[in-house]
Amino acid sequence: MVKSSFQVLYIDDDEFMLKAASRLLKRLKPDWSITLIQDPAMWRDLIDAKAISPDLVLSDLIMPDLKGDELLAQVSQHFPNSIRALITGDTTVEIETLANNWTHFILPKPFSEKDFEQILTCAERLRSLPFSTRCRQQLAGIENLPVLPSIVRQLELCMADKQCGSAELAHIVASEPPLAGQVLKAANSVYLGFESPTNSLSSAVSRLGIKVVCGIAMTMMNRNAFRQLSDEEHDAIVVHHQMLANLAGALAQQLHWSAEDQDNVYLVCLLSAIGELVLKEMGYTQALDSANPLDFQVGYQDNSVISAYVLILWGYHLPVAEAILTLGQMPLVADPNQWGMGQLVHFCHDYAKAHNAGTLDEWLDSLSEPLGVLAALLLSPEK
């Protein structure tokens, strides 16, 4: 039987915050059920007494007797499929230090209605994913999943401000030199067809658009989450996916896809790096192991499952996360005009693989005429 209501557990020793959260939830999701707990040490006894299995658990960080991060660790043991959010007003704590496999979201305190609504939306989306209970438990057990880089949040806040333009966005990007370098490199890619090079970060941001700049930041600036990967290993994966993004963006342009679809396929290639980075951090190498070393979910690639899961946790655009999840599912049809994102990315992946292996001529000879013409479009910028 399909569950008709979300069970939400909100834990905070501040009675005012409990009541405010309850009112907000009832207004935003009137069909959801919420249980309020003021004594953190009693959380298990109270939900056992009510026979509740929480779908979403939100807990304040600083509380007497039991801190919120410790409480969520307990929740993860008893309810591994629950979605868990930590609320903190301690601005001295770096968000990255609170990231762990038992905390999915970190909210500022006091949080805005938009912050709260985003978590509710993400919780709905996560439950709607076509994942088995086993898959969800495996995902919940991954240690040190990357958190949304703080600079992405800064860029999004700037973008929401009507007074913020490309110069202000460029100033934020400039605060992270590795990101600034990658943005300039992407804006000067021969594949994207810009008429002249640029050394202006403001111009680069304007060319790429904020969605793409945020996508680059997501892959570039989460390296601190990967403790087993060297910077060189991290950058090699990011650079590979950046190249795929350039190829896919160029082909989407040649196929006269809409500007939105061009951006989305670029981001699908770029952000699918997240799953590969997580697998590499866990000791798996895509080139040596099967596409599904952990066998998360039948019919889906492990790296795609991880990427989609993380992006939805971050509240990212659902179409991009869904497109990443379904990569590799659709067969490559002969007519490129009938391609979706998955087929275009598949083609670019095959091109890059042959290019890197030095077998490009053999691969080109194996293509039918329409696909050969398309591949020639990728060769042109390199000459």
Per-residue pLDDT of 17-39, as tens digits, reads 899 989 999 999 999 999 999 99
Q: How confident is the model at residue 98 (pLDDT cuts 50, 70, 90)?
A: low
Cα dihedral value 9, 15, 16, 18, nearest 10: 10
Cα–Cα distance between 265 and 326 in angstroms, integer?
A: 13
pLDDT of residue 2: 43
Q: Is the pLDDT of residue 382 over 70?
A: no
Q: Which is more confident, 106 or 8?
A: 8
Q: Average pLDDT for residues 124-137, to the nearest whole number?
A: 87
221: nearest Cα among 183, 253, 252, 191: 183
Within a domain: 367: yes
At 8 the pLDDT is: 93
Please check whether residues 156 and 124 belong to one and the same domain.
no
Are 195 and 227 within one domain?
Answer: no
Which residues sit opposite 248 in a β-bridge?
none
Burial code (b: 16+ CB inside 10 Å, e: under 16) for 170-188 equals: bebbeebeebbebbbebbe
Is the pLDDT confidence value at 99 over 60?
Answer: no
- Return the residue matching tokens 């996508």: 215
What is the pLDDT, as a whole number, of residue 290? Answer: 67
Claim to verify: residue 172 and residue 228 sit in the same structural domain:
no
| pLDDT for residue 100 is more than 70 | no
Task: State the CATH number of the domain containing residue 101.
Answer: 3.40.50.2300
Number of domains in the chain: 3
102 and 14 in a single domain? The answer is: yes
Asked if the model's pLDDT at residue 322 lies above 70, the reply is: yes
In the prediction, which pLDDT does 166 show?
A: 85
In a domain, residue 133? The reply is: no
CA dist., res. 185 & res. 170, Å (int): 14
Q: What percent of the chain has pLDDT over 70?
A: 93
Evaluate whether residue 28 is within a structural domain.
yes
Instruction: Transcribe 286-351 into DSSP letters.
Output: TTTS-S-SS--STTS-HHHHHHHHHHHHTT--HHHHHHHHTTT-S---S-GGG--HHHHHHHHHHH
Query: Residue 337: what pLDDT?
Result: 85
> What would you measure as the largest C-alpha separation in the chain, in angstroms?
71
CA dihedral sign, ordered 337, 342, 343, 349: positive
- Using an 8 Å Cβ cutoff, are 304 and 345 in contact? no
Q: Which domain holds residue 76?
A: 7-128
Final residue belonging to a domain, choices 207, 236, 257: 207
Rounded percentage of the chain residues whose pLDDT exceeds 90: 30
Residue 269 falls inside a structural domain: yes
**Is 212 among the domain residues?**
no
Q: Answer for the pair 35, 9: CB distance below 8 angstroms, yes or no.
A: yes
Q: Are residues 197 and 332 in the same domain?
A: no
Same domain? For 314 and 260 the reply is yes
- Looking at the structure, tell me whether residues 229 and 347 fall in a common domain: yes
> How do 83-88 and 56-60 pair as beta strands?
parallel
pLDDT in tens, 231-258: 899 988 998 999 999 999 989 988 899 9
Q: What CA–CA distances, in Å, run from 231 to 228, 235, 238?
A: 10, 6, 10
How confident is the prediction for the chain on average, in pLDDT? Answer: 85
Q: How many CB atoms lie within 10 A of CB 232?
A: 7
Are 192 and 67 members of one domain? no
Nearest-angstrom CA–CA distance, 10 and 16: 12
pTM of the model: 0.84
Q: Is residue 320 in a domain?
A: yes
CA proximity to 278, closest of 229, 239, 242, 324: 229
* Banded model confidence at residue 305, pLDDT cuts 50, 70, 90: very high
Q: How do residues 174-195 score in pLDDT, each as one tens digit?
A: 999 989 998 999 888 877 777 7
* Pair of tokens at residue 279: 């697998």
Q: Are both 73 and 124 inside the same structural domain?
A: yes
Per-residue pLDDT reduced to its tens digit, 44-82: 998 988 888 898 999 998 898 898 889 998 998 888 888
Based on the domain organization, do 229 and 374 belong to the same domain?
Answer: yes
The Cα 15–Cα 205 span in angstroms is: 45
Are 261 and 357 found together in one domain?
Answer: yes
CA distances from 91 to 86, 87, 97, 168 (A): 13, 11, 12, 24
84-93 pLDDT, tens digit per residue, is 888 887 644 5
**Does one domain contain both 234 and 357?**
yes
Q: Is residue 74 part of a domain?
A: yes
Asked if residue 143 is part of any domain, the answer here is: no
Checking DSSP bridges between strand 7-11 and strand 105-108, what pairing results, if any?
unpaired
Using the predicted structure, report yes or no on whether residue 314 has a pLDDT greater than 80.
yes
Q: Where does a domain end: 63, 98, 128? A: 128
